[in-house]
């Protein structure tokens, strides 16, 4: 958050640029954010942003890194077995949104997906490459891809209404309230019958 006015490349310059980019994408979305504005917010020359991150797309890709390796998502969700995966998925998702830095990053990704074709491609590719391919093989149903996507749709909707639009009942609920109500529905997608 501190604006140091630093102009030279230093130990924290890369981190400062990332923080400024994270805030800019979260506040203004993908399309309206410029390398120039990120550089100004970080107190560096735009050339330094290009030096560390390349173009805006690459800067965005660096910003949306999760607080854990995306490749570990399935392992984290499945580490108590498939029968605990519903609760683990909800807790993991909420933990990302309840942590300010990662919330900004994932909100930026969601805004980008909503407002630009590139952003939509980014989110779709991230989701299909990282999440569906990791999680779906654990789901004992032929429509595992659809079920995984329905899980994502519910969690994305919760994030939108709780953290972005701010619906009252969702804003007031604690993470535990949400886990108690949502996890059984997520679990039903993973292991439940179509009709149950």
C-beta neighbour count of 131 within 10 angstroms: 19
Q: Within 13 Å of residue 5, how many CA atoms lie on the same side as its CB? A: 0
Smallest separation (angstroms) from a second copy to the CB of 76: 21
Smallest separation (angstroms) from a second copy to the CB of 17: 25
Cβ-based nearer residue to a second copy, 68 or 114: 114
Binds a second copy (CB under 8 A): choice among 99, 129, 133, 180: 180
CA-angle at 99, arms to 34 and 70, nearest 5°: 75
Binds a second copy (CB under 8 A): choice among 55, 100, 124, 137: 124
Residue 148 in contact with a second copy, rule: CB under 8 A: yes
Residue 130 in contact with a second copy, rule: CB under 8 A: no
Smallest separation (angstroms) from a second copy to the CB of 170: 5
- Measured CA to CA, the distance from residue 71 to residue 184 in angstroms comes to 25
Cβ-based nearer residue to a second copy, 25 or 189: 189
Smallest separation (angstroms) from a second copy to the CB of 161: 5
- Measured CA to CA, the distance from residue 116 to residue 125 in angstroms comes to 14
> What are the Cα distances from residue 57, in Å, to 22, 63, 89, 141, 164?
13, 10, 28, 36, 23
Q: Which stretch binds a second copy (CB under 8 A): 35-43, 77-85, 89-97, 120-128?
A: 120-128
Which residues touch 168 (CB under 8 Å, ≥6 apart)?
Answer: none
Residue 125 in contact with a second copy, rule: CB under 8 A: no
Picking from 41, 42, 65, 63, the residue whose alpha carbon sits closest to that of residue 54 is: 63
Size of the site for a second copy (CB under 8 A): 49
> What are the Cα distances from residue 103, in Å, to 4, 23, 168, 170, 195?
24, 10, 19, 16, 34
Q: Which stretch binds a second copy (CB under 8 A): 6-14, 46-54, 67-75, 158-166?
A: 158-166
Where does this chain bind a second copy (CB under 8 A)?
A: 29, 111, 113-115, 120, 123-124, 127-128, 132, 143, 145-150, 152-158, 160-162, 164-170, 172-173, 177, 180-182, 184-185, 188-189, 192, 194-196
């Amino acid at each position: 958050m501190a604006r140091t006015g630093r102009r030279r490349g230093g130990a924290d310059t890369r981190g400062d640029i990332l923080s400024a980019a994270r805030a800019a994408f979260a506040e203004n979305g993908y399309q309206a954010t410029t390398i120039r504005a990120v550089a100004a917010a970080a107190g560096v020359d735009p050339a330094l942003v290009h030096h560390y991150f390349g173009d805006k797309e690459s800067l965005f890709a660096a910003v949306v890194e999760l607080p854990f390796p995306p490749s570990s998502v399935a392992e984290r969700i499945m580490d108590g077995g498939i029968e605990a995966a519903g609760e683990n998925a909800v807790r993991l998702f909420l933990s990302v949104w309840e942590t300010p830095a990662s919330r900004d990053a994932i909100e930026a990704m969601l805004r980008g997906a909503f407002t630009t074709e590139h952003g939509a491609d980014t989110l779709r590719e991230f989701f299909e490459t990282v999440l569906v391919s990791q999680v779906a093989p654990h789901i004992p149903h032929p429509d595992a891809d659809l079920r995984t996507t329905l899980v994502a749709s519910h969690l994305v909707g919760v994030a939108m209404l709780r953290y972005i639009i701010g619906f009252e009942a969702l804003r007031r609920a604690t993470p535990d309230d949400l886990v108690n109500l949502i996890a059984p529905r997520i679990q039903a997608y993973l292991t439940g019958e179509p009709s149950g």
